[in-house]
Amino acid sequence: MKKPKEYNESDVCELFKKAIGLNPKDKLHLEKLYQEDILRERKSKIQGSEKKCYQKIAQYLTELDISGYESFEVFFEKHTDRSKRIARKNGFVYKTGHNLETQKKEGLKEKEKADKEGKTLREKMLAKTLLKKTLNPLGEIIDLEIPLNEEDGGGLGEIDLLAYNKEKGILTLIELKRKDNEETILRAILEISTYYCQVNRKILVKEYGKGETQIKKAVLIYENSFLHEQFKESDEIKKLATLLNVNIFLLNEAESAVTLAV
């Protein structure tokens, strides 16, 4: 078994500061943090401690001075680069009109290529499997892979799933992770929080919502997965998720129901 990487705590602290621009001469740019390689390393830990690196980084985040802001969530958004907030001239709705039988056929072709093209493709297949399912309290999964770029190759990612709870009037932006995903739950939380800030929410509501519509954010992981274990064992992660208003939902093995992680 490969030994987990160990980092000096001061090095992790400096990496964190550099990643978010925590310097008197710089402007904070929290949107870059989730892209750091260390957030893909779920086993890496602090030297001389059992504390994982991702737990320490979550702690650093929650300790940032948010004086003058009404909440940590507002602070995060104000310090996320929104100059490229995506409006999409052609709108967001482009997947839901696809014929579901065509989606299924495409899924079969992709399944044949999955082992060759890797884990990202398997995640996309999972998203297609969940499309049109009702997973309360999230509601119906109404769309998937919503791009944050006007054109391919724009440098931003995509929202994995969009759920709509018609009764409550809530749209939920969802970051989806496979059962065998070996990254950190912190990365998923920061990723969906960043996308929430970068997407033009007014247009999103106009195209997908009806009347009074709230937008929320969530991470959807498998029950008893690596990511679920991380969430259960880390008070720092639970605190950060609460501060950012990111709900963690657990998908059952049959992919037919979800429950809120606590």
Residues 108-151: tens digit of each pLDDT:
455 444 444 455 777 889 999 999 999 999 999 999 988 876 55
In terms of Cα–Cα distance, which of 20, 15, 17, 76 is closest to 44? 15
Q: Measuring CA to CA, how many Å separate 203 from each of 86, 95, 188, 246, 247? A: 9, 16, 24, 21, 23
Cβ contacts of residue 18 below 8 Å, gap of 6+? Answer: none
Kindly report the average pLDDT of the chain as a whole number: 85
What pLDDT score was predicted for residue 99? 37
Query: Distance between CA atoms of 67 and 56, rounded to whole angstroms?
Result: 22
- Write down the residue that tokens 């740019």 correspond to: 29
Q: Measuring CA to CA, how many Å separate 119 from each of 17, 124, 177? A: 30, 9, 10
Domain boundaries, the chain: 6-260
Residue 89 CB burial class (10 angstroms; 0-12, 13-18, ≥19): exposed
In terms of Cα–Cα distance, which of 123, 139, 104, 132 is closest to 188? 123
Query: Distance between CA atoms of 92 and 150, rounded to whole angstroms?
Result: 10
Query: Distance between CA atoms of 236 and 242, rounded to whole angstroms?
Result: 10
Single-letter residue type at 102: T
Q: What is the pTM of this model?
A: 0.87
Q: Parallel, antiparallel, or unpaired: how do β-strands 214-222 and 246-251 relate?
A: parallel
The token duo for 125 is 């297949």
State pLDDT tens for residues 197-245: 999 888 888 888 777 889 999 999 999 999 999 999 999 999 999 999 9
Question: Mean of the pLDDT values across residues 87-105?
Answer: 48
What share of the chain has pLDDT > 70, as a percent?
81
Choice among 42-46, 86-90, 140-144, 196-200 with the minimum mean pLDDT: 86-90
